Structure formats: C-alpha cells, structure tokens
C-alpha cells in the first residue's frame, strides 16, 4: 500500500493524504520490530554494547500503551535480562549494568502519566508468586478463547472415544491446574442414561493446589450425582518422563490421557525425554490422547530464529487482546505482564536447561507421536460446530480464525495460527 502511494501522482497523494495517518501505527510497529530483531542479532553476535544502544531506543515503550508498545516493553525487558545474564557469564556484568543503567530489578513497575494512566501499575517481581500465576491463568481462560477452545475440543474427542455404556472412565490429566476443563465433560457424562464412574488423576507441582482442585471437582460431581474419584499425582519440577509410570490403572477403566499445553515442557535440548514419555503413555494403552499446543517454533537452537518466531507469535496475541479487550482491563494487563511476560522472558531470556517454553508446531509433534506408535484420530464435525459456537457466543470477533488441516483444529488471529488441537490413539 505504501509503495503504491509513493509511485502515485501528486494529485493522488493529496487525495490519499488523510489515509496516511492510519498507516503510522503500522509503520511504527514495523520499525520497532526491525529494531528488536536487529538487537537480537547483535546479542547473538555477543556485540552487547551495540545491542544496548539499539535497545535504549525501545526502552520508553509503555506497558500501558497500544499493543505495539506493550509488546515492545515485554521483549525489551527480556532482552535486557538476556544481555545481563550473558555479560555476567563473561565477567563484565557490573560494567554493562552501569552502561545500561539497569538496577538489580529489571522488572521494576513503571508508572505512566497522562492519557495512558488508566490503570494502576501492577507490581511485577522477578519471580511471580504462584497465586499471581494461577490468577492470571483463570483470567486468560476468560478473556481469550485459546484455552477454552482447547478444553472444549479435547473434551469432545474424549467423549467420542469412550463408548456409551462404558462403566468406568479414567482421565490422566497432565498439569491439571484448577481443573476448569472438566466440569463440562462431567455434566455430559452425568446426562447419559447410565452414567459411568469417573476417575481423574491430576498431575502438578503444587500438592495444595491439587487437593483444592480435587475438592472442587468432587463437590461438583456430587451436585450431579456422578460417581467420582480424584487422585493427585505430584510431578517433579524437571517433568521426569518416568512419572507416567506412577499412574494406578484399573483393568475395567477406559483411559484417556490429556496433554493440554504440556508436551513442550517435557522437551529438552534433544527429544529423548519426550520420546520416553510418549512411549510410557503408549504402554498404558489409552483409548485416546488429546494434545493442544502453541503453533510456534520456540525451540529453535539459534536464538535469533527463536526470537523472530516469538516476536511474530506474541504480536498476533497482543493484537488480538488489543482488538477484543477494553484498554482499561486489569485482567488483560495482568495476563500480558505476568502470564505472557513470563513466557516471553523464558523464551528470550533463558537458555539451556533453564528454558521451559519449548513450543513446537504441530508437524513436529506429529512426527514424534507417530514414531511412538500413535495414529491421528480425526476430530468430528460436531467438535467443529462446538468450536465455532464458542467463538461466536463468547468471543465475537472476525479476527479469530478456525481452520482444519490434516484432521486437526487450528485457532489463530487474522492469518496466523496460534494454537492447535489434535487427537491420537
């Protein structure tokens, strides 16, 4: 569009002039993207002084501005932490921090004065509390369709894989968190003419949270008169793939394994742990394995490639929040700063064994699942209609796009796929 304007006649320029104002935010976004990418390239080349000079141009981006400013703020903060860490490893930590004018807390809250000061600052510390993270997860589930879409589609795949008349169902849910996925499925089971007994083994890293989740699900099952048992399974923080061997199985149960935003956490610098995990899951002989993941390659071995992929992915996410959530929403601000900020900090600022957000595209998960003996199970037309209804009723925006490719569902913003859901057996 800009190219055609530059080649047009002067009279056409005059006629088009009012539209140029509309292109300025887009031009600014392109400029800031180029600055951040160049900065990441300089960091990859260990040219930290040049990287700092470029990064200083981004340092005024407000976490309370438009989507571009908010995104630039998060990536600038993450790049600053990466530079600080790398310089510390090189023995020049204090010298660089002095040059960059960064104090010991790169996450210090910033106060915006003026029209952007609609929201009081959220205090963000280097390590967010578990309560903050859990609260942000619940907000994420409410203000974006991504988690609910994954849960709804996975639930439908489980219901269709388990035959009507099955007397006992066992769901092994990796990283169950608050268990918000399961009440709709429990209600569907309770409505069957002969409701089965449902047992859920929920895994996680916080035993207290697991117990609270189990109590809530048990009370809900009681209100439905649904026979229900909950078993907490504490996982090690390193996501040891052998933990799948600790699941108690009953021969009369139909087993469903649920991996919503989980497989990437088992992935390390190589795929041995993930292959071991999938092999152990396969030996459990589940009737279905549901998988939902980010549709992005945040595990590329080259930092600059990983950075560009992350920048494009989170640009689409922040744009979707900008278009669908009010600008003064504290929930949106918390999700961006704490939940997505934590992910960006991990992808950009961490390295080696300390990096946990190793997202991959579905095509990569497909190769690993098939090599472990799994085959893809097509998601049904009813699952598709449910997903469309979810978007239409709760997230009415033309920006959200739903696609089906190779029997799997993809949900994204505009033309960029952001999440995928698939079913395996």
> What φ, ψ does residue 385 adopt, rounded to 5°?
-65, -35
The answer to whether residues 54 and 38 touch, using CB atoms and an 8 Å cutoff, is yes
| Averaged pLDDT for residues 246-259 | 93
pLDDT tens profile 27-40: 788 899 999 999 99
Q: What residue spans define the domains of the chain? A: 22-126+299-354, 140-296+359-424
Percent of the chain with pLDDT over 90: 73
Confidence of residue 146 (pLDDT cuts 50, 70, 90): very high
24 has pLDDT over 60: no
The strand ranges marked E within 317-388 are 376-377
The answer to whether residues 198 and 226 touch, using CB atoms and an 8 Å cutoff, is yes
CB contact set of 200 (below 8 Å; sequence gap of 6+): 170, 171, 173, 176, 179, 182, 217, 228, 229, 230, 231
pLDDT at 94: 47
388 has pLDDT over 50: yes
Q: Which of 7-21, 180-194, 312-326 bottoms out in mean pLDDT, i.e. has the lowest? A: 7-21
Q: Which of 99-113, 308-322, 360-374, 383-397 bottoms out in mean pLDDT, i.e. has the lowest? A: 99-113
The answer to whether residues 219 and 249 touch, using CB atoms and an 8 Å cutoff, is no
pLDDT tens profile 199-226: 999 999 999 999 999 999 999 999 999 9
Considering only CA atoms, which of 211, 152, 163 is closest in space to residue 187? Answer: 152
pLDDT at 268: 87
pLDDT at 128: 61
pLDDT at 25: 60
User: What is the residue-averaged pLDDT of the chain?
Assistant: 86
5 has pLDDT over 70: no
Give strand pairing partners of 291: 259, 422
pLDDT tens profile 86-96: 988 766 544 44
119 has pLDDT over 60: no
pLDDT at 29: 81
- Which pTM was predicted? 0.86
97 has pLDDT over 60: no
Dist. CA 351–CA 295, nearest whole Å: 21
| Averaged pLDDT for residues 318-322 | 96
Secondary structure of 201-269 in HEC code, one letter for each residue:
EEEECCHHHHHHHHHHHHHHHHHCCCCEEEEEEECCCCCCHHHHHHCCCCCCCEEEEEEECCHHHHCCC
pLDDT at 164: 85
| Averaged pLDDT for residues 395-416 | 95
pLDDT at 65: 92
74 has pLDDT over 80: yes
26 has pLDDT over 80: no
pLDDT at 127: 52
Confidence of residue 244 (pLDDT cuts 50, 70, 90): confident
pLDDT at 88: 81
Considering only CA atoms, which of 226, 364, 235 is closest in space to residue 298? Answer: 364
The fold for domain 140-296+359-424 equals Rossmann fold (3.40.50)
367 has pLDDT over 70: yes
pLDDT at 246: 81
Higher pLDDT, 62 or 107: 62
pLDDT at 163: 86
Higher pLDDT, 407 or 130: 407
3 has pLDDT over 50: no
Considering only CA atoms, which of 110, 20, 182, 76 is closest in space to residue 333? Answer: 110
The answer to whether residues 97 and 84 touch, using CB atoms and an 8 Å cutoff, is yes
């Amino acid at each position: 569009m800009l190219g055609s304007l530059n080649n047009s006649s002067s009279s056409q320029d005059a006629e088009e002039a009012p539209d140029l104002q509309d292109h300025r935010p887009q031009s600014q976004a392109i400029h800031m993207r180029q600055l951040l990418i160049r900065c990441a390239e300089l960091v990859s080349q260990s040219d930290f002084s040049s990287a700092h000079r470029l990064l200083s141009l981004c340092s005024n981006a407000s976490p309370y501005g438009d989507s571009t400013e908010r995104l630039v703020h998060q990536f600038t903060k993450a790049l600053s932490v990466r530079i600080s860490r790398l310089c510390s490893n090189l023995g020049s930590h204090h010298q660089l921090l002095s040059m960059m004018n960064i104090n010991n807390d790169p996450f210090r809250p910033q106060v915006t004065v003026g029209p952007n000061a609609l929201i009081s600052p959220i205090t963000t510390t280097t390590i967010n509390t578990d309560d903050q993270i859990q609260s942000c997860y619940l907000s994420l589930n409410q203000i974006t369709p991504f988690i609910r879409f994954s849960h709804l589609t996975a639930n439908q795949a489980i219901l269709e894989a388990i035959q009507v008349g099955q007397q006992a169902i066992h769901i092994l849910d990796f990283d169950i968190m608050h268990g918000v996925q399961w009440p709709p499925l429990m209600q569907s089971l309770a409505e069957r003419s002969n409701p089965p007994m449902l047992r859920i083994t929920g895994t996680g890293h916080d035993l207290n949270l697991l117990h609270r989740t189990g109590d809530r699900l048990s009370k809900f099952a009681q209100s439905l008169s649904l026979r229900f048992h909950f078993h907490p399974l504490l996982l090690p923080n390193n996501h040891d793939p052998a933990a799948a061997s600790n699941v108690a199985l009953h021969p009369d149960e139909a087993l469903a394994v649920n991996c919503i935003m989980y497989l990437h956490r088992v992935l390390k610098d190589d795929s041995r742990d993930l292959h071991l995990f999938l092999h152990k899951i396969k030996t459990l002989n589940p009737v279905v394995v549901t998988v939902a993941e980010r549709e992005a390659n945040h595990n590329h071995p080259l930092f600059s490639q990983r950075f560009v992929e992350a920048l494009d992915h989170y640009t689409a996410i922040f744009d979707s929040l900008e278009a669908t959530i009010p600008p003064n929403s504290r929930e949106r601000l918390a999700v961006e700063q704490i939940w997505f900020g934590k992910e960006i900090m991990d992808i950009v600022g961490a390295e080696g064994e300390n990096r946990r957000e190793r997202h991959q595209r579905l095509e990569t998960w497909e190769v690993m699942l098939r090599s472990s003996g799994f085959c893809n199970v097509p998601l049904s037309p009813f699952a598709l209609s449910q997903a469309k209804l979810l978007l239409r009723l709760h997230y009415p925006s033309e920006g959200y796009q739903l696609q089906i490719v190779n029997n799997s569902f993809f949900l994204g913003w505009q033309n960029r796929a952001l999440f995928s859901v698939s079913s395996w057996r």
